[in-house]
Amino acid sequence: MDIELAKCECCGLKEDCTLDYISQVKENFNGKWLCGLCSEAVRDEVKRGKKQFLCMEDAVKAHMTFCRKYKSNPAIEVADGMRQMLRRRSDVSSSSNSPNSSKKYSRSTSSISYY
**80-90 residue pLDDT tens:** 677 777 877 77
Question: In this predicted model, which residue has the larger pLDDT, 111 or 92?
Answer: 92
Which residues 6+ apart lie within 8 Å of 29 measured at CB?
39, 42, 56, 60
What three-state secondary structure class fits 40?
A: helix
Beta bridge partners of 5: 16
| 43 C-beta neighbours (distance < 10 Å), count | 15
CB 30, CB 56: distance < 8 Å:
yes
> Residue 89's pLDDT is what?
78
Provide the pLDDT confidence category of residue 17 given band limits of 50, 70 and 90: very high
- 23-80: per-residue pLDDT in tens? 999 999 989 999 998 999 898 888 877 655 568 888 898 888 888 776 566 677 777 6
